[in-house]
Amino acid sequence: MANLLNTIRKKSARPAQDASESYGTYQEIDTTVPPKARPCFDQISVNGDEIPEQSILSEAQNHPADNPSEALFAAAKALVVRQLLLCRAKELGVKAELRDETESRTETEEDATIRLLIETEIDVPQASEDECLRYYENNKERFSSEPLWEARHILIGFEQSGSRQAALDTIQKLLAILKEKPAEFSALAGDFSVCPSASQGGNLGQLSRGSTVDEFENALEELQEGEITQEPVESRYGFHIIRLDRKIEGSQLPFDMVQERVAGWLEASAWSRAVSQYIALLTSNAEIKGISMTGAESSLVQ
């Protein structure tokens, strides 16, 4: 033990190094100038024309994505496509006059130039009647009227009842009555429902898909004509008891009624394909640095 203590004392008795020996090469960090942020991208250019990072950051707000990285990448691709089109327009001498698109938004000079370039370079033929008819025959399920429901309900609201449990207790009592006396539906709706339809015995008139909340609509689809829901249907408005008075099935729409709509779909689809191919051709013939343009054809089409 004594030897160990002596050894420690000898080590601790060693004179400290001179400060200049230990810190002679140390320099304080200059905090007067903040460090420059690292760029989000390597420099991106199209045929030698650089796309500023700030432009990409501004454009990203127009490209909703799951994360910022995806939004920035989509924005960069969109700006590359835009630059490709402007380069092509300059090469062809295309320059459009401005036009007002809406009262709130005016078309920019670059937008007008790109529009005229596309109109000039891409020719999409009109869909023939035979093409429209063939599409109609192969997709008849897309051309039918929506089914309609004629229904009535009793609504017991949470707020009016004081609590969810109180509303549930009330609706359960009404269901018990209706199981014995279904003909009392309209009278009970008039007495208890907090919906404005109470004055019409709960009658909601004709309903189509999307005109009610999902829970209500799902319950309607399960009912047969004249049937009443056996359990309370809960929605954000409260608890419902629903009765389906009548269901009107959707019917097939005749070709003459939808021909113009079909032609519009076919021509829009053909335009999208043509623009995608056009952008792909411009991309393959351009010198693009700093980004991969795989799938870039969709940037303008969107």
How far apart, in whole angstroms, are the C-alpha atoms of residue 226 and residue 109? 62
Maximum mean pLDDT: which of 29-33, 115-119, 151-155: 151-155
In the chain, what percentage of residues exceed pLDDT 90?
Answer: 63
**pLDDT band at 30; cut points 50, 70, 90:** low
Structure-token match 């005109």, residue found: 211
Q: Is 77 exposed, middle or buried (0-12, 13-18, 19+ CB in 10 A)?
A: buried
- pLDDT confidence bin for 96, thresholds 50/70/90: confident
- Mean pLDDT, rounded, for 16-23: 47
pTM: 0.55
> In terms of pLDDT, which residue wins out, 22 or 80?
80
- Residues near 1 by beta carbon (within 8 Å), at least 6 away in sequence: none
What pLDDT sits at residue 4?
A: 34
**What proportion of the chain, given as a percentage, has pLDDT over 70?**
81
Residue 97 has pLDDT above 90, yes or no: no
CA gap 233, 225 in Å, rounded = 18
DSSP string, 66-94: SSHHHHHHHHHHHHHHHHHHHHHHHHHT-
What are 172-217's pLDDT values in tens digits?
A: 999 999 999 999 999 999 999 999 999 999 999 999 888 899 999 9
pLDDT (0 to 100) of residue 154: 97
- Give the strands of the sheet with 238-248, arranged side by side: 203-207, 148-156, 238-248, 233-235
Domains of the chain: 44-125+265-301 (no CATH), 148-248 (3.10.50.40)
